[in-house]
Amino acid sequence: LYIKGNELIGANRAGLFINLVPIFGTLLSVLIVGEQFQPYQAFALALVLGGIALAEYSGSRAALQAG
């Protein structure tokens, strides 16, 4: 499924989502191990998602200007 997803959205866009690995690790540690969710983890989550959103927005904006 991972390879098929890469083929569908392209390597450049798929590369952005590797930044979600620490987020998934945090969520799994909270759900499985029962760790306490801390405010700094919420801040890191916001930074990662904001960075991905910014990269996606700037990529789609550049495509509109080129086309």
Number of domains composing the chain: 1
Model pLDDT for residues 31-61, shown as the tens digit of each residue: 999 999 999 999 999 999 999 899 888 766 6
Q: Which helix (H) or strand (E) holds 65?
A: helix 39-66
Q: Token pair for residue 51?
A: 């960075």
**What pLDDT does 61 receive?**
66
Q: If you ran DSSP here, which 8-state letter would residue 17 be given?
A: G
Task: Note down the domain range covering 57.
Answer: 2-66
pLDDT over 90, % of the chain: 40
In this prediction, residue 16 carries a pLDDT of 78
What does pTM read for this prediction? 0.67
**HEC sequence for 21-59:** HHHHHHHHHHHHHCCCCCHHHHHHHHHHHHHHHHHHHHH
